[in-house]
Chains A and B, each alone.
Chain A
Amino acid sequence: MNDLLTIAPLLSVGLTAVAVLLSDAITPNRKYAPISVALAGLGITAWILLQQSGGVVTALNGAYVGGPFVAYLGLLGAAIVAITLLISPDHLFARGYPSAEFAATLLFALCGTILLAAAADLVTLFIALELMVIPGYLLAGFAKRDPLSTEGAVKYFLLGSFSSAILLFGIVLLWGATGTASLTEIAMSLTSLTTGVPPAVAVALALITTGSAFKIAAVPFHYWTPDAYQGSPTPITGYLSVGPKIGAFVLLIKLFLIALLPLADVWIPVMVILAAATMTLGNLVALTQGNVKRMLAYSSIAHTGYLMVGIVAAGAGEASGIAGILFYGAAYALMNLGAFAFLAVIQGRPGATVQLSDLAGLGRKHPQIALLAALFLLSLTGIPPTAGFFAKAYVILSAVQAGGLAAVLAIVAVLNAAIAAFYYLRVIVYLFMRDPAETDVQVATSPLLRAGLLIAAAGTILLGLLPGGLIEAVVQALAS
């Protein structure tokens, strides 16, 4: 019974998903009914998570460890799903896609995220990961009659399964070499190594690094990202670029910063090179994109690089690196969802994708929408006082604290931020400094979409002006 109470957040999300599907079966013609049920269920889940944020509770023989860390990530995941649910319906309805399946799929993915945050052993961790990413494959292919969407989904699925297999192989080798599946016991076993790294562990480390790099879309394992992101329906791209990404970083925290922490000296140089390559290549390629969605896809690769700075800092012994990742995750979720919501707004017509030139003069025709877009872009650039600025400062501070290679990486990161400024600001140039384009971009503004945009915008400003509250929450989440 106590176990059930402990895993209540998971049950609540799962039951909500079922209720969403049932509500659609009962009232098939009410398009907004499933969305409302899903939002209500998320509200209940959030309440349950808040109740559990006090102290650590374990369930299922120690496989599930709930507490403030799970509460933080669960609330963040619920917020991401809620905003996605607000910004998506109009885009999907306009194209005749069902809303109940959409909402339920998102909720199942949220189950995966929560379980990932709570997982204390390798098996649970892997199951949670798959539970989180498989709905993602479905979502990427949600526009099933659109060849681009299908192509993106197939690429995403094939490379995703491929990387899961690599990761699983690494996990199994690690289990075999250390004789335990528990993350903390693996760490203890690795700490007691006295005669260098055994070959099996070395191979496991290589495979786990490769598999994880695929999951977070680090260069050179990023090739699936632009196609999967460009092909998916825009609001879904917004979700895919934040939800599974933050989840994948939880996986990294569990694997590298708990289980493999004793080998930090071995993996830090690799991670530094991957991070530097990821942010630099992501930014440089984003510079050359004329399609806004594809540009944001590459920019999300660059943000992966910034988040990896936190992993490196934490690996070097600076716990605030994890805090930086958690803060960055929240800021990134808000601003990136906002940016994609903006694209969804102006992509009113089915079948069109937005080119930079389509945005010309939008600031004159639709000043409010353009202003919100500018806010998200400035935040992605890292200009204060926005969430993106403080997130970057937090991660960089942790790297500076860690010193050594991490500090070098911090400098690479800020120089990259300057490169990124070029293409983010170029969008603002088109929005405000060019004359209106010939092609008329339609602007869809329904109340739900508007609410989603405003929540993302308010969060982006609030986290920039008053980051203290969230910092406190992040520190609490890591206190246990």
Chain B
Amino acid sequence: MSDLTQFIGSLPILSVITLLPLVGALGIALIPSSRPSTIRVAALVISFVTFILSLLMLPGIREFSSEFAFSEQIPWIPNFGITYHLGVDGLSGALVVLTTLLSWICILASFGPIQSRVKEYFISFLILETGMLGVFLSLDLFLFYIFWEIVLVPMYLIIGIWGGADRIYATIKFVLYTLVGSLLMLVAILATAFSHQVATGSWDGAFDLLALRGTITDPTLQALAFAAFALAFAIKVPMFPFHTWLPDAHVQAPTAGSVILAGVLLKLGGYGFIRFAIPLFPQAAQDFAPLMIVLSVIAIIYGAIVAIVQTDLKKLIAYSSVSHMGFVTLGIFSFNQQGVDGAILQMLNHGLITSGLFLLVGIGYERTHDREIAKMGGWASRTPVYAALFGFFLFASVGLPGLSGFAGEFLVLLGAFLVNPMVAGAATLVMILAAVYLLWLYQRVFTGELSPFLKGLGAKLTDVTPIEIATLAPLAAMIVAFGILPALLTGAFAPSVAQFLMYAAGGVAP
């Protein structure tokens, strides 16, 4: 094992992990389109190898005494001090593994549903994976921005080409929302870098996160730049009132698109707050915190209430995402250990649980070609395994103690309580609402007598296949493991949280 660790350490492992999917996509481009099964298997192998490599990277993170492990830094655009700078810590390591895990699961889950333009689909998906990994691993603001934008294009294509009937409206809305936020962030990045250049007289390190943290003192710049960063991230999370693109995108996206959207893309926003917006502009973040907390609570309550009245399965889960992601921003802006621990846990758990739910909705859709809740009923009597799995993920989403959803929300509420008991109280009430809409959903779809619509499907209403179980099992196992031992995770990112809290308090690195 130590040989392996050494070998991993000798590689530019972060570049390998980030770029392997892209290289794989280029390789797949060379396979003729007439061989779809070769393409599918190649994409699965590439994404699975990436996953294994990211797992092998994990143990190494603790061995580094510096904040970021496996750092790689080479000059890229020397005139402006822009570097290709990658690094990983516990927080980004966990999100990288979540990304690589969901990527191969999504690719496997796309084997059946994606039958047209298979080659283009898997190429888009692998480029998307590179973009997401790059966002989590970049420590240079310019590089981060480039990966941030790269994510946009394949997702645009995935929704727009392989999506549902209203896919074009949904995908353009998704891109325009994201682009408005990110372009203003670009101006803020350039302004921040320039202020560093003015202060030090050199462009060296002007785009480097590690060099910039704690050096931006001008309050106007802090406020404006934080507002721009926060807008970009708030749209991605999405926070109320910037969430309206999400239900459309989720409903129209193909299953794997929904999974990666909920599982990883929304996390880019939360990660952006923790890694970039708050450590760079702590004073402004403190000033904006009350507003962010209010918006988070609105999102939590609003998402839950709107979810109750949804008639479409996917849309219901999309709104529940708005509610659940509200806990993430609430925890982050509590600025205490419990809140931030909880926010990160909630990001990872939401990534596991909601991804599972979207996969399950997709599995059901493959059989029924419908997602109308009113048409369902008594499904459990025909497909007990499917119903049991659905129930498991729903309970995890409700926050049942013992499953991973609980720890995150509990910690966030604890953190929020320390800041403002009223806020915590309001958010706690919503956990009851969550139980209402999720359990009511289960009742309407799975219990009771078999509905005429499902009966009409006859033998087509089969139970889950082994491949489908293979996509769900890893998620379920991790939900149980992290539900029993959340400390497995909180321990891993404790140093990141400590660093974050120090910078959020306006501190400077020792």
A residues at B contact (CB < 8 Å): 364, 378, 382-385, 389, 393, 396-397, 400-401, 407, 410-411, 414-415, 417-418, 421-422, 425-426, 428-429, 432-433, 467-468, 471-472, 475
B175 within 8 A of A: yes
A432 near B194 with CB under 8 A, answer no
A to B CB contacts below 8 Å, 28 in the list: A383-B152, A383-B153, A384-B145, A384-B146, A385-B146, A385-B150, A393-B186, A396-B186, A396-B187, A396-B190, A397-B194, A400-B190, A400-B191, A407-B191, A410-B187, A417-B179, A418-B179, A418-B180, A418-B183, A421-B175, A422-B172, A432-B161, A433-B161, A433-B167, A433-B168, A468-B77, A471-B80, A472-B79
B157 within 8 A of A: yes
* Complex contacts, B146 vs chain A, CB 8 Å: 384-385, 389
Min distance, Cβ A430 to any Cβ of chain B, angstroms: 10
B186 near A429 with CB under 8 A, answer no
B161 near A421 with CB under 8 A, answer no
- For the complex, what is the distance from the CA of A338 to the CA of B168, rounded to whole Å? 26
- For the complex, what is the distance from the CA of A397 to the CA of B197, rounded to whole Å? 12
Min distance, Cβ A89 to any Cβ of chain B, angstroms: 30
**B 165-191 contacts with A by CB, 8 A:** 167-168, 171-172, 175-176, 179-180, 183-184, 186-187, 190-191
B157 near A401 with CB under 8 A, answer no
A411 near B160 with CB under 8 A, answer no
B116 (CB) vs chain A CBs: closest residue: A364
Partner of A468 from B79, B117, B167, B175 at Cβ < 8 Å: B79
B148 (CB) vs chain A CBs: closest residue: A384
B149 within 8 A of A: yes
B183 near A414 with CB under 8 A, answer yes
B78 within 8 A of A: yes
Beyond A393-B190, A433-B167, A471-B80: 15 further Cβ-contacts under 8 Å?
A364-B117, A378-B153, A385-B150, A397-B80, A397-B193, A400-B187, A400-B191, A418-B179, A418-B183, A429-B160, A432-B157, A433-B160, A468-B79, A471-B77, A472-B79
B76 within 8 A of A: yes
- For the complex, what is the distance from the CA of A411 to the CA of B190, rounded to whole Å? 12
B104 within 8 A of A: no
B245 within 8 A of A: no
Min distance, Cβ A404 to any Cβ of chain B, angstroms: 13
Min distance, Cβ B220 to any Cβ of chain A, angstroms: 11
Min distance, Cβ A375 to any Cβ of chain B, angstroms: 11
> Which of A421, A467, A471 has the most chain B CB within a 10 Å cutoff?
A421
Min distance, Cβ A209 to any Cβ of chain B, angstroms: 27
* Complex contacts, B149 vs chain A, CB 8 Å: 383-384, 389
**B 72-89 contacts with A by CB, 8 A:** 76-80
Known: A414-B183, A418-B183. A471 touches B79 (CB 8 A): yes
A429 near B168 with CB under 8 A, answer yes
Min distance, Cβ B262 to any Cβ of chain A, angstroms: 22
B187 near A467 with CB under 8 A, answer no
Known: A384-B150, A389-B149. A414 touches B186 (CB 8 A): yes
* Complex contacts, A414 vs chain B, CB 8 Å: 183-184, 186-187
B136 within 8 A of A: no
* Complex contacts, B125 vs chain A, CB 8 Å: none
Min distance, Cβ B270 to any Cβ of chain A, angstroms: 22
B183 near A400 with CB under 8 A, answer no
B156 within 8 A of A: yes
Interface size, B (range): 20 to 34
A422 near B194 with CB under 8 A, answer no
Partner of B156 from A384, A411, A425, A475 at Cβ < 8 Å: A425
Q: Hey, what's the 0/1 contact readout for B54-87 against A, CB within 8 Å counting as 1?
A: 0000000000000000000000111110000000
* Complex contacts, A425 vs chain B, CB 8 Å: 156, 172, 175
A474 (CB) vs chain B CBs: closest residue: B79
- For the complex, what is the distance from the CA of A29 to the CA of B153, rounded to whole Å? 48
- For the complex, what is the distance from the CA of A385 to the CA of B77, rounded to whole Å? 13
* Complex contacts, A475 vs chain B, CB 8 Å: 79
- For the complex, what is the distance from the CA of A411 to the CA of B161, rounded to whole Å? 32
Known: A397-B194, A400-B187, A411-B187. A432 touches B160 (CB 8 A): yes
- For the complex, what is the distance from the CA of A415 to the CA of B190, rounded to whole Å? 15
Min distance, Cβ A189 to any Cβ of chain B, angstroms: 33
B189 (CB) vs chain A CBs: closest residue: A393
Min distance, Cβ B71 to any Cβ of chain A, angstroms: 21
* Complex contacts, B156 vs chain A, CB 8 Å: 425, 428
* Complex contacts, A426 vs chain B, CB 8 Å: 172
Min distance, Cβ B203 to any Cβ of chain A, angstroms: 11
* Complex contacts, B191 vs chain A, CB 8 Å: 400, 407
- For the complex, what is the distance from the CA of A422 to the CA of B174, rounded to whole Å? 11
Min distance, Cβ A360 to any Cβ of chain B, angstroms: 12
> Which of A378, A396, A410, A418 has the most chain B CB within a 10 Å cutoff?
A418
Q: Hey, what's the 0/1 contact readout for B179-219 against A, CB within 8 Å counting as 1?
A: 11001101100110110000000000000000000000000
B195 (CB) vs chain A CBs: closest residue: A400
Cβ-closest 8 pairs across A and B: A414-B183, A384-B146, A397-B190, A433-B160, A418-B180, A400-B191, A418-B179, A471-B79
* Complex contacts, A432 vs chain B, CB 8 Å: 157, 160-161
- For the complex, what is the distance from the CA of A400 to the CA of B187, rounded to whole Å? 8
A467 near B77 with CB under 8 A, answer yes
* Complex contacts, B187 vs chain A, CB 8 Å: 396, 400, 410-411, 414
* Complex contacts, A407 vs chain B, CB 8 Å: 191
A420 (CB) vs chain B CBs: closest residue: B179
> Which of A364, A400, A415, A467 has the most chain B CB within a 10 Å cutoff?
A400
A429 near B172 with CB under 8 A, answer yes
B194 near A401 with CB under 8 A, answer yes
Min distance, Cβ A420 to any Cβ of chain B, angstroms: 10
A421 near B153 with CB under 8 A, answer no
- For the complex, what is the distance from the CA of A389 to the CA of B150, rounded to whole Å? 11
* Complex contacts, B152 vs chain A, CB 8 Å: 383
- For the complex, what is the distance from the CA of A472 to the CA of B78, rounded to whole Å? 9
- For the complex, what is the distance from the CA of A428 to the CA of B160, rounded to whole Å? 10
